[in-house]
Amino acid sequence: MSPNPQNHCQYLQKLSEKKAEYIKFEGDEKITWCNGCGDYGIQKALERALVLENLTTRDVALFFDIGCNGNGSDKIGGYTFHGLHGRVISAAAGACLANPNIKVIAAGGDGGTFSEGINHLVHGVRNNYPMVFILHNNENYGLTIGQASALTRRDQPMNGSPDGVVTDPMNACEFVLGLKPTFVARTFSGDIRHMTQMLQLALRHNGFAFVEVMQLCPTFNKATSTAWFEERMRYLQNLPDYDVADLHAARRAAEDLENEIMMGLLYQDKTRPNFIEMLPSRAERKTTLIEEVDYQDIGEFMEELR
Ligand code: SF4
C-alpha cells in the first residue's frame, strides 16, 4: 500500500507511546519459523493491533491451531491455547461464551481450516460468535513439509502431488461470503501496516470477524512470492465508491485470485447481534457464565457409593 506519510507518523508515534505494553506481547521464546516466513509479519501486526486498541495481555485469549501458525502460541503474551488440528474455532467459541468480557482471537492455517475444520468455520461464521479469526493462508500444509491444501493453486507441484494439483482451489473469502458473515477482510503478510489496520477493525467488530492473510511461505509455496503479490494487489480503500455493506459487491471483489486481488475490508454488517446477544437465556444476566460457576461438595454422595 502507499501509506499517507502523516498517518504513518501518527501510527509509529502511537506504537512508541505504548512500547511497555507492546514488549509484554512480544514474548521471549525462540522463533522457529523459516527465514522469510509470513508468520513473522502476522505476529507483529497482531501485537501492534492489540496495543493500538488499548488491550493488555490480561484482556485477551489467543487460540492457535496446529500448523506453522500454531508455533506462535508460546511467542506472544496473553492467555494462549494451542488446540487440535482444525478445531481451534470450537475451542475459541467456548471461551467467548464463558467470558464475553475478554477479547477472543483465534488463528489457523488453510490446511486445517478448509479441510478438517471447515465445519467449525461454517458454524463459527453462521453463529456470529464474538471473536476474531485470522486465516494464515500460505496455500499449503507447511508444517508437514508442503502438501497441497484445498487452497493450493491448480497445477502447482507439491510434496504428495509432484505432477501438480489437478483441482481448482477454493477461494477463502468467497466461501465465507456465501455464509452470510458479518465481517470479511483480506490482507497480505508482507504489509504489516495494512494487516494491523485490518486487525484493528476486526477487534472492534461485534461478531465473527474473518480476516484472510495471504501469507508468504518461501519454503514450500513457490507459486506466490512478494513480487507476485505486489504486481496483483489492489486496495479497496482506493475505490471511493466501494460499499462495505454490499454483499454482492463483496463477492465480486473477492473472486479474482489471479490478476487483480482485492485487499481490505470486503464486507461488514454492523446491524446483526452476536450469538450471545441472541440467547434469551442470557438476556437479563449481568454476570458471565464463568462467574456463575458454583463449587459443590459432593463428598456425601461419594460416601454413599462406597
Ligand atoms: Fe513459514 Fe512455510 Fe516455513 Fe512454515 S514451512 S515456517 S509457513 S516458510
Distant-in-sequence, close-in-space partners of 202: CB < 8 Å, separation ≥ 6: 49, 132, 183, 185, 209, 211
Residue 187 pairs with which residues in a beta bridge? 213
Cβ(218) – ligand 1 distance below 6 Å: yes
Please indicate whether residue 94, judged by its CB atom, sits closer than 6 Å to ligand 1: no
Range of the domain at 142: 5-305
CATH number (domain holding residue 289): 3.40.50.970
User: pTM above the 0.85 mark?
Assistant: yes
Nearest to 103 by CA among 71, 127, 79, 77: 79
Q: Separation of 262 CA from ligand 1 center, angstroms?
A: 24
Total tally of structural domains belonging to the chain: 1
Per residue of the chain (306 residues), what is the pLDDT tens digit? 545 666 778 888 888 888 888 888 987 788 899 999 999 999 999 999 999 999 999 999 999 999 999 999 999 999 999 999 999 999 999 999 999 999 999 999 999 999 999 999 999 999 999 999 999 999 999 999 999 999 999 999 999 999 999 999 999 999 999 999 999 999 999 999 999 999 999 999 999 999 999 999 999 999 999 999 999 999 999 999 999 999 999 999 999 999 999 999 999 999 999 999 999 988 888 999 999 988 888 898 888 888
Ligand 1 within 6 A of CB of 34:
yes
Q: Which atom of ligand 1 is nearest to the CA of 215?
A: 7
Mutate to test the pocket of ligand 1, among 149, 217, 221, 226 (most ligand atoms within 8 A of CB): 217
Cell 513480487 sits at which residue?
Answer: 227
41: Cβ below 6 Å to ligand 1?
Answer: no
Decide: residue 196, CB within 10 A, 0-12 exposed, 13-18 middle, 19+ buried.
Answer: buried
